[in-house]
Every structure is written in C-alpha cells, then in structure tokens.
Amino acid sequence: MSSRDEWVALLRESVERFNAYRADHPDEAVDLFEAELSRCSLPRANFQGADLRRSRFEGCDLTGACFDGARMDYANLRAARLPGATFRRASMAGGILYGADLRSAVLDGASLRRVDLCDADLRGASLQGADLTEADLRWARYEVAGFAGVDFTGARLRT
C-alpha cells in the first residue's frame, strides 16, 4: 500500500482482509495519519505499530483491536468501543478517549500524557507502568487495583 487512502479503503472493505494483508506483509508500514474512520466497525483490527497520529475513530467498534506500539498522538477515539483492546507501549499524547469503553483493555506501558479520559469506562483495564501525566480522568469509571506503577503527575482525578 502506498497511501493512506489505500489503507482506509482496505479497512472499510474488510477487517479480515486488512489483517490478512498485514500478516502477509509484516514489514510494510501502515500509514493512517489523519485518517477518517469514524463510526466504522473494526473489531479485532491489527493496528500494531501503525501511524495513527491525528486519526479519527469516533464512535467506532474497535472491540479486541490491537494498537500495541502504535503512534496515536492526538488521535480521536471519542465514544469508541474498545473492550479488550490492547495498547501496550502505544503513544497517545493529547489523544481523546472521552466516553470510550475501555473495559478490560490493556494499556501497559502506554504514553497517555494529556489524554482526555473523561467519562471513560476503565473497569478491569490494566495500566501497569502507563504514563498518565496531566491526563483528565474526571468522571471516569475505574478500579485503583489496575493502576500499579502509573504516573499520575498533574492528572485530574475524580475526588
């Protein structure tokens, strides 16, 4: 794939074909910089290591999707459904996860600096070693047990 538009077209056609193409071409970079994918159904999509900076996934079904190692700075996942999704070592500085369903998601080692997690559902999520510096977690639902080793410097938490 040589352009963002080709990647978007493949995703809109079929998540299964997108994942199969990635499996057949593991060294090919996935460029979805500033992609518009709002309200798409993309469960179990493999975005591992992809460039998703400034992309829009508002209201998407991304259940079980893999974002491990992805570059997602300033991505918009407002109200996205992400239960069981993985974000290990992903970078999402300045991203929007307002109202997102992140139940049982794995965000271990993720950089979530200045991320908007207001009204997000993080129950059962793992955030071990995540960086939530200056993140906004007001009105978010979460369990403190999932926050081992998390950096909350300057974060806004519910009281």
pTM (2 decimals)?
0.93
The pLDDT value given to residue 159 = 54
What is the residue-level pLDDT of the chain in tens, covering all 159 positions?
779 999 999 999 999 999 999 999 999 999 999 999 999 999 999 999 999 999 999 999 999 999 999 999 999 999 999 999 999 999 999 999 999 999 999 999 999 999 999 999 999 999 999 999 999 999 998 876 667 788 888 888 875
Q: How many other C-beta atoms can be found within 10 angstroms of the C-beta atom of residue 60?
A: 23
Whole-angstrom Cα distance, residue 108 to residue 106? 6
Whole-angstrom Cα distance, residue 51 to residue 32? 6
CATH top-level class of 34-159: mainly beta
What are the structural domain ranges in the chain? 34-159
The pLDDT value given to residue 157 = 82
Average pLDDT, the chain: 94
